[in-house]
Amino acid sequence: MKLKFYGTRGSIPVCEQKFQKYGGNTTCVAISNETEIYIFDAGTGIRNLGLDYFGNKKHNLTNIILAFSHFHWDHIQGFPFFLPAYDRNRELTITTFGRSDEYFDLKAIFENQMRTEFFPVPLEKMGAKLNFIQQKENLLETKCGRIISSEHNHPGGAYSYRVEINGKVIVFITDVEHVNGLDKRVVEIAKDADILIHEAQYTPEELEQHRGWGHSSWMEAIEVAKLANVKRLFITHHDPEHDDDFLDSMEEKCKKHFHNVELAKDNLEVEL
């Protein structure tokens, strides 16, 4: 089983020379085994994911699940460039679950994003069979494991995901703001994880100037990891103003507070 980061930048993609080490694609993470791939968010990084798995190098994947933490631009903008969505022989599950708001329309989000005013190919012309699943239950059973969701604090609402597969636990938490202490729901869903992916767009000092923006500091990510007793922490959703030198320095500070922490980079692979 493999975890791979395809996009680790927050808010907007960047491509300047000083941003090459950590990468500039917006959020996209993949967890895969021989038959299944779970994709979390469709930022600009999902384009490279599509080329990697479904381009010249073919994989025998029979189950493709694309789950969304939320639907701000930087988490959906790459979907129109996702290669397997244009394959008429492919079937994709697009989902968000654990949502109780009945007015929410998952399919409409992608239909609107791909209206002719915004994109030349409408959703219904992409080719693949797209199954849109939204459910109030916070558990999704898959062929090889299960995914559990939990809501957390972010403008417009957002969800954490806990993947339990092949005896391993990977938790994906992005775009979360901890208000009046750590969000207990976040700590609970991360409990005893092998890997915790937690966003930290800001330093503790920057966070004081961005209250209400829906994000965390690296210190809060570390506090969650400690309380949840996770084995390994990856920090992601890097601010577009934070270049490679800044993030190198930030990682050094993080390592002084947690024994097994790393700042995620585009194209970083982790074997489990």
Residues pairing with 134 in the sheet: 96
What does residue 93 show for φ and ψ, rounded to 5 degrees?
-100, 120
Using 50, 70 and 90 to split pLDDT, how confident is the model at 61?
confident
Closest CA to 141 of 86, 239, 63: 63
Using 50, 70 and 90 to split pLDDT, how confident is the model at 123?
very high
The tokens describing 6, both together, are 């395809």
Q: What is the pLDDT of residues 33-52, one digit of tens each?
A: 988 999 999 999 999 999 99
What is the pLDDT, as a whole number, of residue 12?
98
What is the pLDDT, as a whole number, of residue 99?
84
- Name the average pLDDT for the chain: 95
Predicted TM-score of the model (pTM)? 0.96
What is the rounded average pLDDT of the residues 3-9? 98
Find all residues with CB under 8 Å of 83, minimum gap 6, and list them.
Answer: 47, 50, 51, 54, 55
Residue 57 has pLDDT above 70, yes or no: no
Find all residues with CB under 8 Å of 246, minimum gap 6, and list them.
Answer: none
Query: How many other CB atoms are there within 10 angstroms of residue 197's CB atom?
Result: 29
What is the rounded average pLDDT of the residues 226-243? 98
Closest CA to 23 of 261, 236, 253: 236
Query: How many other CB atoms are there within 10 angstroms of residue 139's CB atom?
Result: 12
Using 50, 70 and 90 to split pLDDT, how confident is the model at 144?
confident
Count Cα neighbours of 231 within 13 Å in the Cβ-side half-sphere.
Answer: 8
DSSP per-residue codes, the chain: -EEEEEE-B-SS----GGGTTT--PBPEEEEE-SSEEEEE--STTHHHHHHHHHSSS-----EEEEE-S---HHHHTTGGG-GGGG-TT-EEEEEEES---TT--HHHHHHHHTSTTT-SS-GGGS-SEEEEEEESSSEEE-SSEEEEEEEE--TT-EEEEEEEETTEEEEEE-S----SS--HHHHHHTTT-SEEEEE--B-HHHHTT-TTSS--BHHHHHHHHHHHT-SEEEEE-B-TT--HHHHHHHHHHHHTT-TTEEE--TT-EEE-
Q: What is the pLDDT of residues 161-179, one digit of tens each?
A: 999 998 999 999 999 999 9
Using 50, 70 and 90 to split pLDDT, how confident is the model at 268?
very high
The tokens describing 140, both together, are 């999704």
- Phi/psi-derived region of residue 84, left when phi > 0, alpha when psi is between -120 and 50, beta in every other case: alpha
Structural domains of the chain ordered from first start: 2-271 (3.60.15.10)
What is the pLDDT, as a whole number, of residue 54?
87
What is the rounded average pLDDT of the residues 66-74? 97
Q: What is the pLDDT of residues 187-222, one digit of tens each?
A: 999 999 999 999 999 999 999 999 999 999 999 999
